[in-house]
Structure 1
Amino acid sequence: MSGENILVVCAANVCRSPLAELELRRGLGADSLISVSSAGVRANPGDDICELVAAVHDDDEWREQAAEHKAREVTVEIIEQSSIVLAASRDIRGELVRLAPRSRDWMFTIKEAAHLGSGFSSEAPDRVAEYVAHLDRARSRAVPLVPSDDIRSRVRRLFGARTVSDPLSIADQHGSRGHQETIDEVGESIATIVTQLARL
């Protein structure tokens, strides 16, 4: 696991991605050789973590790490130095692929990784690389969870402008009524990923 890096990316790097980063660190443990970081595609560098994320856990370690977090903008260099990139949504992943197309094979949404990682087990020292290979193989065999454009257009005709939720994305509901729902979705998906990566 030495030298392996997990990068989590959302829009502003104040809610979904820092929450995923801190939960991954917590789940993998302080002695893990896997480093975890986060960034945003439209981050205002230096912005603080959101208050709801800072309050997810009340222990000193969580509060300290949440207080230290400062938003940063994602760059090609950050992406290319990562072993895996976990995007909050398919839209964010699309932006990252356009920014760093050579890294597309190790980019997944958080929910996609949690879904495709089922059954992963490895004792290899480069566990994240093995995980990426497992996810990539599973992605090539998986039945799409996302409705096709044709199905989406039929749903829109039936239900008007109501959007069809994307099962591979975690919506950005920061500051809205659904904010807690977003936090819960991130927490559940990251807990699944931690279980997959920690399994021997």
Structure 2
Amino acid sequence: MKSVLFVCTGNICRSPIAEGLFRRLLGNRKDIEVGSAGVHAVRGQPPSTHAIEVCAEEGVDIRELRSQPLTSALINRASHIFAMTGAHVEAISMLFPNASDKTFLLREFEETGATSWLDVPDPIGLGRDVYITCAQTIKNALPSVLAFVEESEVTVPSSAWSGGASAYPMSDSPYPAPSILNPPSGSLRKVDPQVFEAITAEEKRQRENIELIASENFTSRAVMETQGSVLTNKYAEGYPGKRWYGGCENVDTVEQLAIDRAKQLFGAEHVNVQPHSGAQANMAVYFSALKIGDRILTMNLAHGGHL
């Protein structure tokens, strides 16, 4: 038996919607149970009116659900915990450290490149249209969540079902160890948590701040989802920690990770990483046409070579 727990803030909008829609997705299956809770929830509150309405439009009745706070008993019972935002994941990891390995973002299993915005925004207090968008976002994420749950070998131990307090014996990862011949198929948060955290922080920075840098082009959410990352939306000429412009702290983190890893991999003393330049495209062209020892005509940067 597997037990899925959806977590949001107050357990009256996002997580009840997820619970209701996931129950419908499961149909009559008996091998997976589902519940929901909130990191700051009070007990016994019904779902919000708009949450009930948008679920009803999907043929799902969540009127009888009641809010409950996230507790150690719920954590122990769950084999998989799916949070609505990165802040929820952090809160769960802080309050219940043993649950870190089985706690995930709801949207992190969506198709690669489908979105760079992993949080499900809180609709509480907003209009019905926002709830419709929220429900659709959750609905779109649930098939990949179910696929992940089905692939995982984690199950609920009998002690949890009988009310025991023992923690789950979670493996480090449901995926095999990465290798050149067997690349990891997990999400970015599992495969490279350092880069994942930097990208999440950059997405939050762009969403919550107003940038007044003329050379930056903060574009629409659709464009950022198309390109697959918010990092390329940040003007960051120069080296990590030595740039003229502000707001580069997360790009600095990612580039420094790339530099340090390249040094270790190749045993190099110096590495120049410029993910926002045409250097990679240029190198691909050079390497396809040149042989070792060939010479090429270039321009000095001082003479406009960078243009």
Query: What is aligned with 2:96?
Result: 100
Deviation at 1:36, TM superposition (A): 0.3
Give the distance between the partners of 2:41 and 2:55, measured in 1 at CA. Answer: 24
Give the distance between the partners of 1:172 and 1:67, measured in 2 at CA. Answer: 19
Query: What is aligned with 1:86?
Result: 82
Q: Residues 45-194 of structure 1 correspond to what in structure 2 (within 5 A)?
A: 45-58=43-56, 62-63=60-61, 66-115=62-111, 167-177=117-127, 178-194=130-146
Q: Which has the higher contact order (CA 8 A, sep 6+)?
A: 1
Q: Does structure 2 retain, via aligned residues, the 8 Å contact 1:28–1:198?
A: no
Secondary structure of 1:68's partner?
A: coil
- Runs of 4+ more than 4 Å apart: 195-199
* One-letter amino acid of the counterpart of residue 36, structure 1: V
Secondary structure of 2:90's partner?
A: helix
Q: Does structure 2 retain, via aligned residues, the 8 Å contact 1:76–1:99?
A: no
Deviation at 1:56, TM superposition (A): 2.9
Q: Does 1:13 align with 2:2?
A: no
Give the distance between the partners of 1:175 and 1:187, measured in 2 at CA. Answer: 21
Give the distance between the partners of 2:55 and 2:44, measured in 1 at CA. Answer: 22
Give the distance between the partners of 1:17 and 1:57, measured in 2 at CA. Answer: 12
Give the distance between the partners of 1:50 and 1:195, measured in 2 at CA. Answer: 29
Q: Quote the sequence identity (%).
A: 24
**Per the alignment, do residues 195 and 52 of structure 1 end up closer, same or farther by CA in structure 2, a change over 3 Å counting?**
farther
Q: Does structure 1 retain, via aligned residues, the 8 Å contact 2:89–2:103?
A: yes
**Per the alignment, do residues 57 and 168 of structure 1 end up closer, same or farther by CA in structure 2, a change over 3 Å counting?**
closer
**Per the alignment, do residues 19 and 57 of structure 1 end up closer, same or farther by CA in structure 2, a change over 3 Å counting?**
closer
* One-letter amino acid of the counterpart of residue 185, structure 1: T
Q: Does structure 1 retain, via aligned residues, the 8 Å contact 2:6–2:18?
A: yes
Which of structures 1 and 2 has the bigger CA Rg? 2
Normalised to the residue count of structure 1, the TM-score between the two structures is 0.65
Deviation at 1:81, TM superposition (A): 1.7
Give the distance between the partners of 1:115 and 1:104, measured in 2 at CA. Answer: 23
Instruction: Please point out which of 13, 31, 34 is paired with 2:32.
Output: 34
Q: Please state which structure has a larger fraction of its residues in helix.
A: 1
Give the distance between the partners of 2:39 and 2:92, measured in 1 at CA. Answer: 8
Q: Does structure 1 retain, via aligned residues, the 8 Å contact 2:13–2:123?
A: no
The size of the alignment, in residue pairs, is: 148
* One-letter amino acid of the counterpart of residue 93, structure 2: V
Q: Does structure 2 retain, via aligned residues, the 8 Å contact 1:48–1:70?
A: yes
**Per the alignment, do residues 89 and 55 of structure 1 end up closer, same or farther by CA in structure 2, a change over 3 Å counting?**
same
Normalised to the residue count of structure 2, the TM-score between the two structures is 0.44
